[in-house]
Amino acid sequence: SQQGEEDPQALSIQEGENATMNCSYKTSINNLQWYRQNSGRGLVHLILIRSNEREKHSGRLRVTLDTSKKSSSLLITASRAADTASYFCATDASHSGAGSYQLTFGKGTKLSVIP
């Protein structure tokens, strides 16, 4: 079942600009994660934000989480051509005590950064 849905589906920006991607989900979550996928490769974990956190930073990445709106955003500042990739949000909706095994991934945002 699809939990996270990213918006927009595709985004094209100039190098140096900021890129913002959004993710909406439907049920309560333990945490939300963002992953990156270069073309034809596996996914790489970028950042995790827990349900009791509102904002988190990692280098040029900034993630926000609004549990009341069931939404998250990923901001990449000062984008580079090397940031060109697909970005996925993934939600962990498992209940406490049941173990955190599964993530549910959205369909992704394809980001193109033009040099």
Partner 1 sequence: DVKVTQSSRYLVKRTGEKVFLECVQDMDHENMFWYRQDPGLGLRLIYFSYDVKMKEKGDIPEGYSVSREKKERFSLILESASTNQTSMYLCASSHRTGNYNEQFFGPGTRLTVL
Kindly state whether residue 10 participates in binding partner 1, applying the rule CB under 8 A. no
Instruction: Find the binding residues for partner 1 in span 27-86 (CB under 8 A).
Output: 30-31, 33, 35, 40-45, 48, 50
Task: Show the 3-state SS of 8-66.
Answer: CCEEEEECCCCEEEEEECCCCCCEEEEEEECCCCCEEEEEEEECCCCEEEECCEEEEEE
Work out which of 65, 83, 88, 111 binds partner 1, going by CB under 8 A: 88
* Residue nearer to partner 1 on the CB measure, 18 or 28: 28
Q: Which residues bind partner 1 (CB under 8 A)?
A: 1-2, 30-31, 33, 35, 40-45, 48, 50, 88, 90, 92, 99-108
